[in-house]
Amino acid sequence: MKTKYKQIVRRQLDTTLARFAEVKQIQLPPKGWIRAVREALGMSGKQLARRLKVSQPRVFKLEEGELTGALTIKTLRQVAEALDCVFVYGIVPRATLEETVRSQANVVAKERLQRVSHTMLLEAQGLSAEEQKASMDDAIEELVRETPKDLWDEKP
């Protein structure tokens, strides 16, 4: 993707993902969504099995599988349909994508500038605190704007 579009795409996706902010607070029901919805509908395991065209023991395996993370997205969609529900899937960032990139850029810039500062110090060309901050800010902004392929190579 071209550099000039990376920030635009990130901002657009941040806007879309902002709608999921409340979802992050929702806790998985202790027995899972399948069982919680099934029971709230007053539907037995046998009735759900009939709707899914599977055996009753399979429904209980599905409910267990949801809790262990063993179900596929395809299966979750099928179960949701059988419960007259819509399966919703998403990856919701803890912070905005822009904040996440900026945070990583901060880590990378700090690492890179420490190496440069050490070399400059050895050559008696150290920067003042103000110059260091300006240099750091510039490096972060460039990394956020460019988002180079190696941005995520260095660990936070």
Residue 114: closest CA among 153, 154, 74: 154
Domain count, the chain: 2
Domain annotation covers residue 90: no
**Burial 50-63, CB ≥16 within 10 A → b, else e:** ebbebeeeebeebb
Residues whose CB is less than 8 angstroms from the CB of residue 45 and which lie 6 or more positions away in sequence, other chains included = 38, 56, 59, 60
Same domain, 78 and 28: yes
d(CA 119, CA 113): 10
Same domain, 72 and 103: no
- Boundary of a domain, candidates 82, 112, 130: 82
Domain annotation covers residue 36: yes
Domain annotation covers residue 156: no
pTM (two decimals): 0.76
As given in the structure block, the two tokens for residue 143 are 């990394």
Per-residue pLDDT at 130: 83
- Boundary of a domain, candidates 82, 109, 125: 82
Same domain, 101 and 78: no
As given in the structure block, the two tokens for residue 47 are 């009735």
Per-residue pLDDT at 155: 66
CATH of the domain at 66: 1.10.260
Residue 106: closest CA among 78, 143, 131, 69: 143
Q: Which domain holds residue 68?
A: 21-82
Task: Note whether 23 and 92 are within 8 A (CB).
Answer: yes
As given in the structure block, the two tokens for residue 85 are 């529900």
Q: Which residues of the chain have pLDDT under 70?
A: 1, 117-127, 154-156
d(CA 83, CA 67): 18
Per-residue pLDDT at 37: 98
Per-residue pLDDT at 6: 87
8-state DSSP, 19 = T
Q: How many CA atoms lie within 13 A of 21 on its CB side?
A: 9
Same domain, 73 and 110: no
